[in-house]
Amino acid sequence: MTKLSIEEFHARVYEVVRMIPHGRVTSYGHIAKLIGMPRHSRHVGQALKWLPEGSDVPWQRVISSSGQISSRGPATEGAQRQREWLEAEGVEVTVGVGGGTGRVSFREYGWFPEEVEFDD
């Protein structure tokens, strides 16, 4: 894939995230791979971080490669909201001793297609 502008990058991220089925999760890195920019997982996170409230992009279905729900930054409730939304979809989120943001089993809930079709 050729280099994408920031707008094209975000549009591709949102398009792929909309493909993740209800009750499934994938990683930031896998989204980056699917859009042809495998070294840009942090940029995927940034694209999702700045979604407007009420967006139709199911950002909650994207988690870290360790299965961990990522913090949305100090003094925010994004990780808790993400956990609640995933649980509402039937995804089991485990929280270890000492709390943390929670972890999801990729074996049980993972969505990792080799490629996706884009609406070009």
Choose the most confident range, by mean pLDDT, from 5-9, 79-83, 86-90: 86-90
Domains of the chain: 6-109 (1.10.10.10)
Torsion of CA 29, 101, 21, 19, to 10 degrees: -40
To which H or E segment does residue 62 belong?
strand 62-63
Confidence of residue 52 (pLDDT cuts 50, 70, 90): confident
Residue 70's CB is within 10 A of a number of other CB atoms, namely: 17
What's the CA dihedral at 77, 79, 85, 89 to 10 degrees? Answer: -170
Q: What is the pTM of this model?
A: 0.90
Are 83 and 113 a contacting pair, CB within 8 Å? no
DSSP letter at 110 equals B
